[in-house]
Amino acid sequence: MARQNSPDPRSAVAQLRARPQAEVLIIGGGINGIATFRELALQGVDVALIDRGDFVSGASSASSHMVHGGVRYLENGELRLVKEAVQERNRLLRNAPHYVAPLETTIPIFKTFSGVLTAPFRLLVSHGRGQPRERGALLIKIGLMIYDTFSRGGGRVPRHRFHGRDRSLRALPRLNPGIKYTATYFDASMHDPERLALDVLSDGIAAGKPRPGVSAEAAMARAANYVTATGFADGGVVLHDEDGGDDFTFTARVVINTSGPWTDHTNAALGRPTQYMGGTKGSHIVVDHPELLDATAGREMFFEHSDGRIVLIYPLKGRVMIGTTDLDADPAEPSVCTDAEVDYFFDLIPHVFPSITVRREHIVYSFSGIRPLPKHDDTAPGFVSRDYRIEHGWLGGVRSLSLVGGKWTTFRALAEHLGDETLRLLGKRRKVSTRTTMIGGGAGFPQDRASRKIWVARHGGDHDPELVSRLLDRYGSKAAEVLTALPPSPQELASAPGYTVEELAYLAHTEAVLHLDDLLLRRTSIAFVGGLTKATLTEIAAAVAPELGWTAAVQRAEVARATQILRDAHRVELGSRGLAHLEESTPP
């Protein structure tokens, strides 16, 4: 049964229409746009954010689930970026402990001196052009020593360790016995990137909420998904409601373009063509393979092939994620993991674990996205800068800012810089810093066994402690809010173990869900872990239908839409493993 006063899923769009102006309009609801939204909302700025699709459904949804300083960026000479990224990693470990945790990472090393001469040559002479070579132990050791130096101030993770062959094989017996060394260091895992971004968004909206008794249109922080910026006219940005189908004009003093790899496309639509972007494609597969999962011993394996490309084998949610490629790509074209990319992964896995066979039938999910990198001409994709910059411009008499580059780890620092630049244009001063601001369910999140036990007992009420603990893992301390919406014995979903009808209904009620795929791909991990069938989609659609006002016909349409998206973008064939057939395949 639907709750009384269930919100209209498009109420956020109604708020924008009712008051079609703000000091700042942000176009692009990936992590960088969302973080900038929160940053400005906390400063008391009247800010609005839109995304042409769902929040965090573009480049930000295709991450490697890591929060890292980027030890390999040292070879590019990006010392500033690496230092900032390590600092931000440490801040996320502190500010978002419900979604970010230390990640033990091991590098198998097969050579001693390789790359010692070519790495400086690529940095100082060829500037990333030409083919990289496999890095040897000495080069990796130097890099990790520098990395530890940058990490020293945070005190959040241990220093790196180097081990010889015998000790390495005792710890990881399924490793390739041809290794000479292993290097083990700590970065951080981000086990639910989309949920972390939704927490950042929620914090921003909360910062701009109107006082009790004041209309919702007075909110100083408004965010709407499925709204596209289609043009610029009469001093404002023309917005198109992708659900309702109508257009309206929205005015702002500053327009910020954070649409990632589509930044140039957005600027062109606004009548200000640019050529800032030159993104690269990265794909991942997720396999259900207990033997491979066990072989990782809970560590991420960070492996480099002889051509210099990086492959990671990453235990996550009871599955193993394998990635990633780094290919030049056109953001105008759909991004999908190809057969050739899968072959590339399968060719490399035996270099790490030669006794383990991974086949296509082990694959339960795949995803692919385009990194929002700057235009890079003939620089090799892996050596394109991961740093970011802010480009200034004008839309008629309106100031505009375009974000070029950026990565998940540095989203807060990037938003701080972009926010400060925006405040300068508005003639305002910063009120608060976000460097120590807890994110969403990270506030009050219990971080040890004893405090966790206390939290579960205090907030569990009549609920099964196992359910309470599961929700705590999913939502952090915000699990307390979810629990209030659940009866003592919520109804388990038969085709999606671990989820209940009432939990999904709560998400639909509170998290701007418009389509079934919003739930499957971004509000939950249901698609990521695999095992989807038509019955799964049908059952979930029925669970949220009362909240969203879906008729039986709409439910069928949503199941059909989700089925198509899963097949086309993620190569998931309902009811079967492996990859759905892809018409064309390009080389990795």
Domain ranges of the chain: 10-59+194-276+388-426
How confident is the model at residue 329, as a pLDDT?
85
How confident is the model at residue 585, as a pLDDT?
47
Percent of the chain with pLDDT over 70: 89
Rounded to 10 deg, the angle between the 137-151 and 79-95 helix axes is: 60
Per-residue confidence band for 526, with pLDDT thresholds at 50, 70 and 90:
very high
Assess whether the previous peptide bond of 324 is cis (omega < 30° from 0).
yes
Per-residue confidence band for 336, with pLDDT thresholds at 50, 70 and 90:
very high
Question: For 433-497, where are the E strands, in sequence order?
Answer: none
Percent of the chain with pLDDT over 90: 73
Q: Are 408 and 69 in contact (CB under 8 A)?
A: no
How confident is the model at residue 527, as a pLDDT?
98
C-alpha torsion angle, residues 349, 354, 360, 365 (rounded to 10): -40
Sign of CA dihedral 290, 291, 292, 294: positive
Rounded to 10 deg, the angle between the 31-42 and 193-207 helix axes is: 20
How confident is the model at residue 143, as a pLDDT?
79
Within 10 A of 516 (CB to CB), how many other CB atoms are there? Answer: 27
Q: What ranges in 223-338 are assigned the alpha helix state H? A: 263-269, 290-295
Average pLDDT over residues 221-247: 96
Cα separation of the two ends of the chain: 49
Rounded distance, CA 401 to CA 572, Å?
A: 38
Per-residue confidence band for 123, with pLDDT thresholds at 50, 70 and 90:
very low
Does residue 459 register a pLDDT over 50? Answer: yes
How confident is the model at residue 384, as a pLDDT?
59
Tokens of 515: 């389509």
Average pLDDT over residues 424-429: 98
Q: Are 246 and 69 in contact (CB under 8 A)?
A: no
Greater confidence (200 vs 127) lies with 200
Query: 28, exposed or middle or buried, with CB in 10 Å at 0-12, 13-18, 19+?
Result: buried
How confident is the model at residue 376, as a pLDDT?
64
Rounded distance, CA 336 to CA 292, Å?
A: 24
Phi, psi of 8 (to 5 degrees): -65, 125
Per-residue confidence band for 264, with pLDDT thresholds at 50, 70 and 90:
very high
Tell me the pLDDT tens digit for each residue of 374-411. 886 655 555 556 788 999 999 999 999 999 999 899 99
Q: What ranges in 235-277 are assigned the alpha helix state H? A: 263-269
Does residue 117 register a pLDDT over 50? Answer: no
Does residue 263 register a pLDDT over 90? Answer: yes
Question: Which residue reads 């965010």 in tokens?
Answer: 223
Question: Which residue reads 């072959």 in tokens?
Answer: 343
Tell me what the pLDDT averaged over the chain comes to. Answer: 90
**156 to each of 87, 97, 197, 442, 536, how far by Cα in Å?**
10, 11, 22, 16, 40
The partner residues of 479 in beta bridges, in order of sequence, read: none
Greater confidence (297 vs 157) lies with 297
Q: Which of 394, 386, 433 is nearest to 412 (CA)?
A: 433
DSSP letter, residue 373: P
**39 to each of 16, 32, 203, 334, 402, how far by Cα in Å?**
20, 10, 10, 31, 16
Q: Which of 512, 541, 531, 538 is nearest to 574 (CA)?
A: 531
Query: 281, exposed or middle or buried, with CB in 10 Å at 0-12, 13-18, 19+?
Result: buried
Q: What is the 3-state secondary structure (H, E, C) of 33-89?
A: HHHHHHHHHHCCCCEEEECCCCCCCCHHHHCCCEECCCHHHHHHCCHHHHHHHHHHH
Q: Which amino acid is at 199?
A: D
Greater confidence (96 vs 130) lies with 96
Within 10 A of 334 (CB to CB), how many other CB atoms are there? Answer: 10
Rounded distance, CA 415 to CA 117, Å?
A: 37
Within 10 A of 382 (CB to CB), how many other CB atoms are there? Answer: 18
Per-residue confidence band for 121, with pLDDT thresholds at 50, 70 and 90:
very low
DSSP letter, residue 309: -
Q: How many residues comprise the chain?
A: 588
How confident is the model at residue 120, as a pLDDT?
40
Does residue 136 register a pLDDT over 90? Answer: no
- Cα angle value 430/433/435 (rounded, 5°): 155
Rounded distance, CA 293 to CA 364, Å?
A: 14
Per-residue confidence band for 205, with pLDDT thresholds at 50, 70 and 90:
very high
- Cα angle value 266/258/59 (rounded, 5°): 95
Tell me the pLDDT tens digit for each residue of 85-116. 889 999 999 999 999 999 999 999 888 755 44
Q: What is the pTM of this model?
A: 0.93
Least trusted range by pLDDT, from 53-67, 207-221, 263-277: 207-221
Phi, psi of 451 (to 5 degrees): -70, -30
How confident is the model at residue 76, as a pLDDT?
66
Least trusted range by pLDDT, from 63-77, 155-169, 350-364, 552-566: 63-77
- Judged by DSSP in three states, 234 sits in coil
Per-residue confidence band for 466, with pLDDT thresholds at 50, 70 and 90:
very high
Q: Are 519 and 526 in contact (CB under 8 A)?
A: yes
Rounded distance, CA 552 to CA 587, Å?
A: 43
Half-sphere exposure of 514 (CA within 13 A, CB side): 19
Tell me the pLDDT tens digit for each residue of 497-516. 999 999 999 999 999 999 99
Q: Which amino acid is at 139?
A: L
How confident is the model at residue 308, as a pLDDT?
61
CATH 3.50.50.60 fits 10-59+194-276+388-426, yes or no: yes
